[in-house]
Amino acid sequence: MRSIIPIGPFHPLQDEPENFLLTVEGETVVDIDVNIGYIHKGIELLAQQKTYDQTVFLVERICGICSITHTVCFCNAVEDLLKVEIPERAKYIRTILGEIERIHSHLLWMGLAGHFIGYNTVFMWTWKYREPILDMMEYLTGNRQSCGMLKVGGVRRNLEDSRFPALLKTLSEMEPKIKMLAEAVQDDPVLKARLEGVGVLTKKDAIDYCVVGPTARASGVDIDVRRDDPYAAYPYLDWNVIVLNGGDVYSKFLVRVLEVLEAIKILRQAVKQIPKGDFLLEIKEIPPGEGIGRYEAPRGEDIHYVRSNGTNFPERLKVRAPSFINIPSFTASCIGQQIADVTITLAAVDPCYSCTERMISARDLSGNKKYSQKDLLEISHQKTLEISRNLARPADLPKLKKYL
């Protein structure tokens, strides 16, 4: 018997509204529809009414977790338009902020992943480890998230050298804990049984769906914008791109744990090498033209396209967040799974709906089916009626119908 399980719009699986319609046979998923667009606000259009400086604050609010991502990406795009090179110190500051954000975003995902499979202890412990990193963010920039540090041409405020030792201390305190977490993930048999072989996205599917970020790297696709299209201070630093071949949730988990360790490595070098000097390049005017910025967000490659017509306001801003490309891969990874596994498979992409929906709403991915709210209610009513028919005596049926 086929039935349809709606997940969302409001569901504890995600903090954000979204809707998945799972068509299930028993407990096995045979089809999935993704409905997003509940929180579409029209940020791209809004950007056309704001000046470049204001737009930085606007794109910061595309997504709270990737606040540095979108701002740096937008600044990259405008600087590409201007063909300017920003001061060295600004580059290092952007790198430091970006890597701090990567650590906190990955830890956040790991905790949530633990929560989704009912392992609340993992959730609490990873989020406890995440707190010092947020404290560092506050200590360095003044706010836990959305710090408003970026500006076209550099950074708005300087990071004081005197504050870096505290950062290094936090990192060295964190590193053994992350290593312990990595070992725990590899050793825990129950966790392994629950994650291994679940929601496999093969390399071919990964290339076909053009997925990016940890999702692609866990499937054996070797891409990383930090290396492929270097920005900020990454060319001066020594680090590795983590690539695993499993494609399942377990690999995605492991990629993220190892990336946190890489991020710690990058941060240490950046703090050591950061030069003194200017941190902001004065931008007088922005000529007509167009620019493309790329950034490796915690979730994957982020692209901004900016077109200027010589005025104070951007003529067009196009944002492609990583989740926009990653979400369609659900179709490949979810079908044939158990319902209990679907939640963690969906979560494994680390989908970020605020990013995706600044302009888009997708409906009916498979192309032929679409259920409105009313249809769904109808279907679920029919199902309950059927169940009650099987359970109840025939004489009670008219009474039951009244309630339906």
Partner 1 sequence: MKIQEFIEILKSKSKFPFEVQQHSEKRVYIRIARENLKDIAIVIFKEMNAKFSIASGVHIREGFEVLYHFTFDKDKFICTVRTLAPHDDPKLDSLVSIIPGATWIEREIYDILGVQFLGHPNLKRLVKAEFLGEKEFPFRKDFNIKKFKEDHGLAPKISFIQPVEQTVKKSK
Partner 2 sequence: MENLVLYLLAFLVFPGFLFTSTFGLVVSWIDRKVSARIQWRVGPPFFQPFYDLFKLWQKELIIPRSAKGMAFIIAPFIGLAATSLLASIIGIINLNPEYQFVGDVIVIVYLMMIPPLAIIWGGFSSGNPLAALGANREIKLMMGYELPFILAVVTVFFKVGSISLGEIIQYQQVHGALLNHPSMLVAFAVSLLWLQAKLGEIPFDISEAECEIMEGPFIEYSGPLLGVYKVMMAMLHVVCPWFLISIFWGGTSMQGWGILWSVLKFVFIIVLVIIIKNTNPRVRIDQAVKFFWGWVTLLALIAMVLMFLGY
Partner 3 sequence: MPNLSTRWLKKSPWVYHVGTGGCNNCDIEILDCLTPRFDVERFGIKLVVSPRHADVLLVSGPVAYHIKPRLQEVYKQVPKPCVVACIGACACSMGIFKDAYSVAGPVDKVIKEIDPNAIFVYVPGCPPKPETMIMALVKALQKI
What residues between 302 and 331 interact with partner 2 by CB under 8 A? none
CB 39 within 8 A of CB 364: no
Residue 119 dihedral angles phi and psi, to the nearest 5°: -110, 75
Q: Which of the listed partners (partner 3, partner 1, partner 2, none) does 17 bind, with a CB threshold of 5 to 8 Å by partner kind?
A: partner 3
Q: Which of the stretches 54-62, 121-129, 250-258, 289-297 binds partner 2 when contact is defined by CB under 8 A?
A: 121-129
194 interacts with partner 2 by CB under 8 A: yes
Whichever of 121 and 372 has its CB closer to partner 2, that residue is 121
The SS3 assignment for 145 reads coil
Q: Which of the stretches 36-44, 90-98, 214-222, 284-292 binds partner 3 when contact is defined by CB under 8 A?
A: 36-44
Angle at alpha carbon of residue 267, lines to 266 and 268, rounded to 5°: 90
The SS3 assignment for 327 reads helix
- Spell 317-330 as b/e; 16+ CB within 10 A means b: bebbbbbbbbbbbb
Q: How far apart are CA 172 and CA 133, in angstroms?
A: 12
CB of 218 to partner 1, least distance (A): 17
Burial of 226 (0-12, 13-18, 19+ CB in 10 A): buried
Q: DSSP strand E in 213-332: where?
A: 289-297, 300-308, 314-320
- Contact string 56-95 vs partner 2 (x = CB under 8 A): ----------------------------------------
The tokens of 101 are what? 């954000």
- Contact string 114-153 vs partner 3 (x = CB under 8 A): ---------xx--xx--x------------xxx-------
Sign of CA dihedral 95, 261, 222, 199: negative
The distance of Cα 322 from the centroid of its chain, to the nearest Å, equals 7
- Contact string 16-45 vs partner 1 (x = CB under 8 A): ---------------------x--x-x-xx
Instruction: List the one residue from 30, 292, 339, 385 that touches partner 1 (CB under 8 A).
Output: 292
Q: How many CB atoms lie within 10 A of CB 23?
A: 18
Instruction: List the one residue from 31, 101, 301, 350 that touches partner 1 (CB under 8 A).
Output: 301
Question: For residue 53, what are the CA distances in angstroms to 49, 325, 349?
Answer: 12, 28, 32
Instruction: List the one residue from 176, 367, 394, 398 that touches partner 1 (CB under 8 A).
Output: 367
Q: Which of the stretches 6-14, 166-174, 266-274, 334-342 binds partner 3 when contact is defined by CB under 8 A?
A: 6-14
What residues are paired with 155 via a beta bridge? 150
Q: Which of the listed partners (partner 1, partner 3, partner 2, none) does 397 bind, with a CB threshold of 5 to 8 Å by partner kind?
A: none
Whichever of 12 and 398 has its CB closer to partner 3, that residue is 12
- Spell 167-200 as b/e; 16+ CB within 10 A means b: beebbeebeeebeebbeebeeeeebeebbeebbb
Q: How far apart are CA 287 and CA 289, in angstroms?
A: 6
Q: Which residues form the interface with partner 1 (CB under 8 A)? A: 37, 40, 42, 44-45, 49, 80, 83, 208-210, 223, 228-230, 289-292, 294, 301, 303, 305, 307, 315-316, 318, 320, 324-325, 328, 359-364, 367
Q: Name the residues that contact partner 3, by CB under 8 A.
A: 9-10, 12, 15-17, 37-43, 45-46, 49, 57-58, 61-65, 67, 108, 111, 123-124, 127-128, 131, 144-146, 352, 354, 361
